A and B are shown apart, each in its own frame.
Chain A
Amino acid sequence: MAEVGEVKGEAKEVKKIATRTAYGKALVELGKVNPNVVVLDADLAKSTKSGDFMKAFPDRFFEMGIAEQDMIGTAAGLAAAGKIPFASTFAVFAAGRVFDQVRQAVGYTKLNVKIGATHAGVTVGEDGASHQSVEDIALMRSIPNMTVIVPADAVETQKAVFAAAEYYGPVYLRMGREEVPVLFDEDYRFEIGKAVMLRDGKDVTIIACGVMVAPALEASEELSREGISARVLNMHTVKPIDREAIETAAKETGAIVTAEEHNIMGGFGSAVAEVVVSTLPVPVEMVGIKDVFGQSGKPAELLEYYGLTSGNIVEAARRAIARKAGKASPARSRRSRRQ
């Protein structure tokens, strides 16, 4: 069972920090307490914010140039020699371009390599589809031994970085470019593989990760105004996924909505659905990118365009509830699913 986490008071003005910014700061803090931590980047240190570590610990920072394959291989060698390397680059390169290196030299070897993947999803914005990773969760979670973490805000990112260093084994950390609301206080508790219940509810459960957690909370508020009680789970660890929290949600709320900034095929929603169908099958509606590539645009415009807003989550929640047994005719629910 997931624990109920503290969400910051709504009265306070919402502070916004990009998770990549938190990543850079967390690496520096980690570097201070753990001399075995080393950081690599492939000519994106300014963007991934690993450059913060470079400034603080130049002897433990390795600029690998525009050579992601070599970076992952070098990280594996460093890990084999007892270091804790954080290899940083954009998600589209970290998971896609170097999939084989991650598979062979990190996953298969189960070496202690941490992959700090920033600029995930369409919120990369104007750079367009070539740089917008919509398939990295699917790729990384398909590799045995890999842990996949998608932090929702700056606080969670900081805690995830420390937790990743504490844990022995490969970890893929997925972070974003854009500023996102700070949702949690410093005393927020983070444990790999353990979902956090941000709101309790009985009619439907919204399970979200990463940048979709904030809109999931907004959606639950909107739904509550309609008299719908929506539980919100922050599933920061996509793998190993918190099966118990999902099964409990299925049992107690009878309908599930997943929300991810990623292709709905093979990604986070699929991971949740795999658990649902093998435990307690209930309607699952997936909010995510519908198997298309992104495009250039402002991050907010792109979230809207690809159906990744709180409003999309609200609609999905209504559909999921309508599909509960006895609530709707099969024909109607089929039609509504096609929206």
Chain B
Amino acid sequence: MATYDDSLIAMIEEKARRIRVNIIKAIGAAGSGHPGGSLSCADILAVLYFHAMRIDPKRPDWEDRDKFIMSKGHAAPALYAALAEAGYFPVEELLTLRKLGSRLQGHPDMKKTPGVEISTGSLGQGLSAANGMAIAAKLDKKDTRIYVLLGDGELEEGQVWEAAMTSVHRKLDNLMAFVDYNGLQIDGSVEDVKSLKAVGEKWRAFGWHVMGIDGHDIRQIMTAIDEAKQIKGKPTVAVARTVKGKGVSFMEGGVDWHGKAPNRDQVYKALVELGERIVDGGGVVNG
């Protein structure tokens, strides 16, 4: 494992913490949304947006940017929090999440939100779009890298595997996928709903370079991304073991927090746990 400077790790951890704080604030203010799967991918997003990706938030249309696709679109609050923290739009705007007229729709909308590369929400479609972008980058001889985050439950969608074949067939080594393997989906555990069985073996059988990582370990995420850059001729997937609701004790591992907003008291409690100083007594919460 490459060595990374402690201060760099601390910076990224702080970004991840801030992403989590803003996920809670935004969903609390909206009164609806998906906290569990947003919190589970916060560390991966923090590494991507504050370390790995070549981006310029002041120029979201910059041709040579790296691109991130949130295929599990219901984790939009995590994406928005990362984008805001990176400077694509003001952090205060996060409190407009899911409100009429807001740029921050319930699921990512590329036409409305700066930094959103493609609209998602209907599961299973992000990897295909990522393939298209990776193919275009190769056609244009750009060294752009494309990152895509999939949910574990999302892997039940057949299109994911159509796309997984395409990524390999087209030798898209400029593409890296993450599976946010938090083990839970709306109707229960992924194991009970429709077991993925040996998920890493599945990707490997499709021809991908596969890594298994702890999706909350900043160093492991960074190492995986660095390793993926060295892999030539095929795409890489990091199957990231994560905890749904990570960072908020009463949400962790709770299937009920897939698509439920915390109430005022729960927001307060969550923010305290996340080390946020409550200035306004949790006044970000509706009602």
Taking beta carbons and an 8 Å cutoff, which residues of A are in contact with B?
Answer: 38, 59-60, 62, 64-65, 67, 69-83, 85, 100-101, 103-105, 108-110
Contacts and interface: CB of A to CB of B under 8 A. Distances in A.
A76 B139 contact: no
Contacts of B109: 108
A105 B133 contact: no
B132 A110 contact: no
A223 to B, nearest CB: 48
Given A105-B118, A109-B118, A77 B159 contact: no
Contact of B159 (A59, A70, A78, A108): A70
A85 B133 CA distance: 12
A62 B135 contact: yes
Interface in B121-159: 121-122, 124-137, 139-140, 158-159
Contacts of A101: 125, 128, 159
A81 B166 contact: no
A78 B139 CA distance: 10
Contact of A77 (B111, B118, B140, B165): B118
B24 to A, nearest CB: 28
Given A65-B166, A69-B162, 5 more contacts: A73-B129, A77-B129, A80-B129, A104-B122, A105-B118
A294 B137 CA distance: 43
B119 A104 contact: yes
26 contacts: A62-B135, A65-B165, A69-B124, A69-B128, A70-B166, A73-B163, A74-B129, A74-B132, A74-B166, A76-B118, A77-B128, A78-B135, A79-B132, A80-B132, A80-B133, A81-B132, A81-B137, A81-B140, A82-B140, A83-B136, A104-B119, A104-B121, A104-B122, A105-B118, A105-B119, A105-B129
B110 interface: yes
Most buried by B among A62, A77, A108: A77
B180 interface: no
Main secondary structure of the interface of A (DSSP, over half): helix
A98 to B, nearest CB: 9
A181 B137 CA distance: 42
A38 B139 contact: yes
Contacts of A71: 128
A72 B137 contact: no
B13 interface: no
A70 B163 contact: yes
B43 interface: no
Given A67-B166, A69-B158, A73-B129, A108 B119 contact: yes
Contacts of A72: 128
Main secondary structure of the interface of B (DSSP, over half): helix
Nearest to A70: B162
A67 B161 CA distance: 10
A73 B148 CA distance: 13
Given A60-B139, A70-B159, A78 B133 contact: yes
Contact of B133 (A38, A77, A100): A77
A104 B134 CA distance: 20
Contacts of B162: 65, 67, 69-70
A168 to B, nearest CB: 13
Contacts of A73: 125-129, 131-132, 159, 163
Contacts of A77: 118, 128-136
Interface residues of B, number: 33
B173 interface: no
A38 B139 CA distance: 10
B98 to A, nearest CB: 17
Given A69-B158, A108-B119, A74 B137 contact: no
B117 interface: yes
Given A67-B162, A101-B159, A105-B119, A78 B128 contact: no
A240 to B, nearest CB: 19
Contacts of A100: 122
Contacts of B136: 77-78, 81-83
Given A70-B128, A73-B129, A109 B119 contact: yes
Nearest to B146: A77
A108 B105 CA distance: 13
Contacts of A60: 139
Contacts of B119: 104-105, 108-109
A327 B58 CA distance: 68
B166 A80 contact: no
B73 to A, nearest CB: 9
Contact of B132 (A65, A76, A104): A76
Counting from the closest, the 9 A-B pairs by CB-CB distance are A77-B132, A73-B128, A81-B136, A70-B162, A67-B162, A77-B129, A78-B132, A74-B132, A69-B159
A67 B167 CA distance: 13
Nearest to A83: B136
Contacts of B128: 69-74, 76-77, 101, 105
A281 B166 CA distance: 52
Contacts of B120: 104
B146 to A, nearest CB: 8
Contacts of A74: 128-129, 131-132, 135, 163, 166
A67 B164 CA distance: 11
Nearest to A108: B119
Interface string B97-121: 0000000000001110000011111
Contacts of B132: 73-81, 83, 85
A34 B120 CA distance: 29
A109 B159 contact: no
A70 B158 CA distance: 10
Nearest to B137: A81
